[in-house]
């Protein structure tokens, strides 16, 4: 088994997106936590099996130099040679959000009792369902299920496919387009859609943001879910109206409380109106509606 490495970096809040973006391409199980009673955040991750230690070391040290970090504020340490993926799956508990029940194959429920079951083997991609932003999106989808029934839905930043599968569980006839910048996420989503027997309703592919619109295409989406980070949410905002139909709903997540005002101001200027704001710990999820 190839040697894996644990990366640790401590940064200020303003640098969280910048650092996590650089680490995301060669790490699995990337986690971000606020250090209580400080203005700092801890970012840690385990390198994936394809990562080159020398290249990882260069990138981390360049980040440390650029951010003027002290030697005690970053590290790269070898992990004991164990099957960390197996250990992660073994310790992955069932998660319940409203009617949704997320679980692995090792703890498949014998009696769903009316729950909307989603089986996930997170594998290489971000998204076991435990993150607050994913929870916010799931609860927001449940909220929308009470007021509308979409025909077409886009899952932008699909991760392991949880939100795409959840959408099919709520609306069995909806057609879902699942997109992610990371090819590992696309492959994991495809695996999970097959595992949950919904792969015929979900079209999944790699995309850097919104896909290109084919000439003459008039069909737009009724719902777009974007569970990504604040900066790409800002970058994608001007293009969102080309994909979402009038009266459609936009679920935005992956932003911190401190970023709410900026995000909301940008989308308000594009004729989006706030329907619901949901906060779970430090993370916020918006439901917005596109109006004339």
pLDDT tens sequence across 144-169: 999 999 999 999 999 889 999 999 99
Instruction: State whether 70 and 148 are in the same domain.
Output: no
Q: Is residue 168, in this structure, part of any structural domain at all?
A: yes
Q: Is residue 92, in this structure, part of any structural domain at all?
A: no
CATH number of the domain encompassing residue 195? 3.40.50.150
Q: Is residue 104, in this structure, part of any structural domain at all?
A: no
Q: Is residue 99, in this structure, part of any structural domain at all?
A: no
pLDDT tens sequence across 84-125: 555 655 556 678 888 898 887 766 766 667 789 898 865 444
Phi and psi dihedrals of 81, rounded to 5? -75, 90
Q: Is residue 88, in this structure, part of any structural domain at all?
A: no
Q: How far apart are the first and last CA of the chain?
A: 57
Supply the pLDDT for residue 90: 58
Taking the C-alpha atoms of residue 263 and residue 125, their distance in angstroms, rounded to an integer, is: 26
pLDDT tens sequence across 163-210: 999 999 999 999 999 999 988 889 889 999 999 999 999 999 999 888
**End-of-domain residue from the set 82, 108, 139:** 82
Query: Residue 151 sits in which domain range?
Result: 128-290
Mean pLDDT of the chain: 86
Instruction: State whether 133 and 66 are in the same domain.
Output: no
Taking the C-alpha atoms of residue 222 and residue 211, their distance in angstroms, rounded to an integer, is: 16
Instruction: State whether 78 and 132 are in the same domain.
Output: no
Taking the C-alpha atoms of residue 19 and residue 133, their distance in angstroms, rounded to an integer, is: 19
Supply the pLDDT for residue 125: 44
Tokens of 166: 């959840």
Instruction: State whether 154 and 285 are in the same domain.
Output: yes
Q: Is residue 113, in this structure, part of any structural domain at all?
A: no
Instruction: State whether 283 and 198 are in the same domain.
Output: yes
Instruction: State whether 227 and 168 are in the same domain.
Output: yes
Q: Is residue 133, in this structure, part of any structural domain at all?
A: yes
Q: Is residue 103, in this structure, part of any structural domain at all?
A: no
Between β-strands 5-12 and 27-34, what pairing exists: parallel, antiparallel or unpaired?
unpaired
CATH number of the domain encompassing residue 64? 3.30.70.260
Instruction: State whether 66 and 146 are in the same domain.
Output: no
Instruction: State whether 77 and 162 are in the same domain.
Output: no
Taking the C-alpha atoms of residue 267 and residue 274, their distance in angstroms, rounded to an integer, is: 9
Model-wide pTM > 0.85: no
Instruction: State whether 65 and 147 are in the same domain.
Output: no
| b/e 3-38 (16+ beta carbons within 10 angstroms → b) | ebbbbebbbeeebbbebbebbeebbbbeebeeeeee
Supply the pLDDT for residue 251: 97
Between 89 and 10, the more confident residue is 10
Instruction: State whether 165 and 231 are in the same domain.
Output: yes
**End-of-domain residue from the set 57, 82, 107:** 82
Instruction: State whether 168 and 278 are in the same domain.
Output: yes
Question: Tokens 């594998």, residue?
Answer: 123
Instruction: State whether 150 and 210 are in the same domain.
Output: yes
Sheet arrangement for strand 116-119: 95-97, 100-103, 116-119
**End-of-domain residue from the set 82, 113, 144:** 82
Counted domains in the chain: 2
Tokens of 154: 């886009």
Supply the pLDDT for residue 124: 46
């Amino acid at each position: 088994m190839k040697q894996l490495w644990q990366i640790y970096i401590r940064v200020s809040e303003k640098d969280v997106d910048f650092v996590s973006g650089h680490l995301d391409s060669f790490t699995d199980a990337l986690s971000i936590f606020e250090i209580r009673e400080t203005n700092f955040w801890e970012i840690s991750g385990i390198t994936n099996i394809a990562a080159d230690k020398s290249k990882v070391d260069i990138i981390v040290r360049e980040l440390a130099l650029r951010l003027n970090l002290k030697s005690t504020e970053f590290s790269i340490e070898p992990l004991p040679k164990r099957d960390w993926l197996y250990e992660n799956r073994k310790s992955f508990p069932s998660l319940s959000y409203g009617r949704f029940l997320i679980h692995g194959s090792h703890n498949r429920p014998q009696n769903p009792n009316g729950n909307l079951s989603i089986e996930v083997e997170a594998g290489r991609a971000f998204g076991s369902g435990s993150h607050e932003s994913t929870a916010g999106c799931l609860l927001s989808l449940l909220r929308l299920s009470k007021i509308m029934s979409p025909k077409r839905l886009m899952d932008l930043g699909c991760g392991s496919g949880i939100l795409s599968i959840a959408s099919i569980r709520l609306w069995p006839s909806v057609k879902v387009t699942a997109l992610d910048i990371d090819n590992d996420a696309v492959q994991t989503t495809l695996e999970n859609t097959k595992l949950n027997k919904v792969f015929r309703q979900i079209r999944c592919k790699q995309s850097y943001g919104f896909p290109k619109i084919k000439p003459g295409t008039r069909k737009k989406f009724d719902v777009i879910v974007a569970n990504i980070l604040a900066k790409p949410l800002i970058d994608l905002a001007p293009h969102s109206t080309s994909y979402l139909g009038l009266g459609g709903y936009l679920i935005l997540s992956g932003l911190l409380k401190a970023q709410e005002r900026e995000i909301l101001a940008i989308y308000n200027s594009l004729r989006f109106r706030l329907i619901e704001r949901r906060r779970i710990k430090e993370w916020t999820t918006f439901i917005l509606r596109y109006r004339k």
